[in-house]
Amino acid sequence: MIKITYAPANELVIHEIINIAKEDLIRERVTPAGVMPLYWCDGLLFSFSSLPLTDDVVKDYLKGRIHWLEVHFAKEEEYKPVLSLNDEEYKTTMNVRVIDTSNSEMHRELVKWIKGTVKSYK
């Protein structure tokens, strides 16, 4: 019999948080490697980047402490599975997938914290 242990994160450390225009948030997800998805939870559209997995960061992860280097966010009241942006520079329409993470306790707590704490949210 295999023992299965669920060990959710108990702390999220955000090193930088920026409220940016929705169009810029969409634009930043288009990379040379492809189009990265955005996340949506409780009226907030966001992206995040993690720290490189150094020995210290891995030790923190194993203790339930997650580090995000940056979080970029914009208000978006309604969930839409795809957001489009007409880009003049590339003369094309960019489509970015949006993942509804409303079922994630960590994401719900993050959005609640942003709405109640981050001055640029207001």
With a cut of 80, say whether residue 23 has pLDDT above it. Answer: yes
**For the chain, what are the domain ranges?**
11-121
8 Å CB contact between 37 and 98: yes
Tens of pLDDT, residue by residue over 41-59, are 999 999 999 999 999 999 9
**DSSP letter assigned to residue 110:** H
Give pLDDT, residue 74: 96
Average pLDDT, the chain: 93
Closest by Cα among 14, 46, 18 to 121: 18
Give pLDDT, residue 35: 86
Pairing of strands 65-75, 44-50: antiparallel
